[in-house]
């Protein structure tokens, strides 16, 4: 019995960068997100974006995305320019500096032409924003899955997403608008940044509450919450050494903020098409979340 829709795993992408020594290191996670914008007969049309954290893209000119081919062949790498020839930023970040979220347009038809295996979370079917979370009764203690590539563990031959599970530790302050992140009790590591957090389907619930029976995209991993301890000198009473450890809690950016960036990105995409038309949409049949 699968608790995660299998195609969710094909939405997740490893993100890498070249070091000064010319070595390629995969240090973050991203995922593909399809923003529905219209219907063409029986087909739905989406603009496809790569989603990750702002801190993943900052300071870099080029990123590498690692995808699996449709056939059983080694994973392939695709170069993505983050700056144009004039060093102008090609990716969009949320305008709020406290929201660690970024997107860049992905040319889905090119991936199809190269026979790359990929899917995307659909904005109209696979997400749970704040309104939907409140309506469904998702709350503290509900299970979640974190999808990504911690510690650069991307798989030798092909991408193999690592799935970890946890629970929502605190979300009510986010639902009331008092926080821009919610917390999950799940251990994450460097490399998880930018990975999707999805709900764990349940078939039972306590009396008076709803069971969350479908997997939905809730948010994007930002960072782990550190536990910091300070060693003081017994002689001077001044701090000497600071120790930082992973507390086992992780901060997650709600999916609502992604919609805000996508709105700006769609406007930019429309302007780009008017100036130099390119095909960046993807046509797919309707697909249920589970």
Which single residue is written with the structure tokens 């109209």?
Answer: 124
In a domain, 1, yes or no: no
In a domain, 55, yes or no: yes
Q: How many domains does the chain have?
A: 1
Domain around 252? 6-284
CA distance linking residue 244 with residue 59, whole number of Å:
25
Q: How confident is the model at residue 283 (pLDDT cuts 50, 70, 90)?
A: low
Average pLDDT estimate for 55-72: 95
CA distance linking residue 262 with residue 49, whole number of Å:
8
Which single residue is written with the structure tokens 């994450």?
Answer: 188
Look at strands 239-254 and 182-185 and give their pairing: antiparallel
pLDDT of residue 1: 54
What tens digit of pLDDT does each residue of 254-274 get?
999 999 998 877 777 677 667
Do residues 181 and 197 touch, judged by C-beta distance below 8 A? Answer: no
- Torsion angle in degrees (nearest 10) through CA of 141, 6, 54, 159: 130
Q: Which CATH number do you get for residue 63? A: 2.40.10.120
The DSSP symbol for 89 reads: B
Structure tokens at 189: 């590591």
């Amino acid at each position: 019995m699968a608790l995660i829709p299998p195609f969710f795993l094909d939405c997740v992408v490893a993100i890498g960068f070249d070091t000064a020594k010319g070595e390629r290191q995969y240090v973050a996670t991203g995922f593909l997100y399809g923003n529905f914008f219209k219907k063409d007969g029986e087909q739905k049309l989406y603009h496809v974006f790569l989603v990750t954290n702002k801190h993943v893209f900052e300071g870099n000119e080029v990123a590498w995305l690692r995808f699996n081919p449709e056939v059983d062949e080694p994973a392939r790498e695709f170069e993505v320019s983050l700056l144009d020839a004039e060093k102008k930023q090609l990716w969009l970040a949320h305008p709020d500096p406290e929201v660690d979220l970024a997107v860049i347009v992905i040319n889905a038809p090119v991936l199809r032409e190269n026979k790359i295996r990929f899917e995307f979370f659909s904005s109209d079917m696979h997400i749970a924003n704040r309104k939907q979370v409140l309506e469904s009764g998702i709350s503290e203690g509900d299970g979640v899955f974190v999808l990504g590539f911690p510690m650069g563990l991307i798989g030798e031959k092909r991408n193999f997403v690592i799935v970890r599970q946890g629970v929502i530790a605190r979300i009510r302050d986010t639902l009331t608008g008092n926080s821009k992140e919610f917390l999950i009790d799940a251990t994450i590591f460097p490399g998880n940044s930018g990975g999707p957090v999805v709900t764990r389907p349940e078939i039972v619930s306590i009396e008076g509450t709803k069971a969350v029976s479908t997997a939905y995209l809730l948010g994007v991993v930002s960072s782990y919450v550190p536990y910091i301890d300070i060693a003081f000198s017994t002689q001077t009473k001044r701090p000497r050494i600071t120790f930082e450890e992973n507390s086992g809690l992780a901060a997650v950016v709600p999916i609502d903020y992604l919609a805000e960036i996508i709105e700006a990105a769609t406007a930019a995409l429309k302007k780009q098409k008017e100036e130099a038309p390119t095909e960046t949409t993807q046509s797919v049949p309707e697909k249920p979340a589970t």
